[in-house]
Amino acid sequence: RYTKRFNCWIHLVVMLYAVIMRFDSLREITASLLAETRKLAHLGISFKIGRSTLADANKRRSEAIFESIYRDLYATYRHVLSSDGLMEVRIQNVEFTKQKKDGETIRHKSRIITYVDAKKRKLVSLLTNDMESDPEEIVAIYRQRWEIELLFKQMKQNFPLKYFYGESANAIKVQIWVTLIANLLLMVMQKGLTRKWSFSGLATMVRITLMYYVDFYSLFNNPEREWEVILSEATGAPPEPSLFD
């Protein structure tokens, strides 16, 4: 019955709101939605969302839907997020030897692959015993592994994954996929800004201003100027009434 009104779009919006605001419980989510009722109509939310409605949706609506949304978004913005810092690869073949007690010598061939990380402006050297794979492929694997570790750290620091909004496996997976979506959207926003923001700093500011009607890029590219404009408009004298008011 809940699917007629609480559809996938509303479910996604509510869960994104929850993870960006770092709420720890269904009670916090639904109470906050009540407080923001006047600002939700333009998102298609025109009815009260109860805890049981959200809990049922997290339990019953397949997490595969949110996985599909994440994968589609990633495919769309992958080129924006990619960091092409690889410039040149240098290969050095090395051989390690070890003398056993019986006098036998063990030889182990390896190679050191060094590349220039333009983004970090430094040389990175990788030691590997894989003598067959393409050096650029080895570098790509290393970078992807490092990016995965950074992603986990980033998510744990900025999103509520210590507490889950449901106990079922499906509810937990829904929350994880939505967290990945929120993380991806913030990374895309970060890439689109000319002003440098740390991810944590940006996530905090988005959390603070999420329910305000502001121009995101104008505010976050020049927050001081934008706040001055907002304050001047708020503190200015009200317009004089005309004869025909």
pLDDT at 11 over 60: yes
Mean pLDDT lowest among 5-19, 25-39, 114-128 = 114-128
Higher pLDDT, 60 or 135: 60
Residue 240, H or E segment: none
Closest of 48, 47, 61, 54 to residue 25, by C-alpha: 54
> Quick one: pLDDT at residue 114?
87
Higher pLDDT, 125 or 15: 15
pLDDT at 3 over 80: no
Q: Using one digit for the tens of pLDDT, what is the confidence trace for 211-225?
A: 888 788 888 888 777
Closest of 19, 69, 62 to residue 173, by C-alpha: 62
Dihedral angle at the C-alpha atoms of 168, 169, 172, 177, nearest 10 degrees? Answer: -140
> Quick one: pLDDT at residue 226?
67
Closest of 139, 155, 153 to residue 83, by C-alpha: 139
Confidence of residue 60 (pLDDT cuts 50, 70, 90): very high
Residue with structure tokens 């109470």? Answer: 31
> Quick one: pLDDT at residue 231?
73
> Quick one: pLDDT at residue 117?
74
Measured in whole angstroms, the distance separating CA 70 from the mean position of its chain's CA atoms is 11
Q: Using one digit for the tens of pLDDT, what is the confidence trace for 121-178?
A: 778 888 888 888 878 777 777 776 766 777 777 777 778 777 888 999 999 999 999 9
CA angle 176, 179, 180 (to 5 degrees): 90
3-state secondary structure of 79: helix
> Quick one: pLDDT at residue 86?
46
Separation CA 94–CA 112 (nearest Å): 7
Mean pLDDT lowest among 38-42, 112-116, 199-203, 235-239 = 235-239
What Å distances lie between residue 97 and 104, 107, 109, 110, 131, CA to CA?
A: 10, 5, 9, 11, 17
Q: Using one digit for the tens of pLDDT, what is the confidence trace for 72-84?
A: 998 898 887 765 5
Give the chain's length.
245
Q: What is the mean pLDDT of residues 13-19?
A: 93
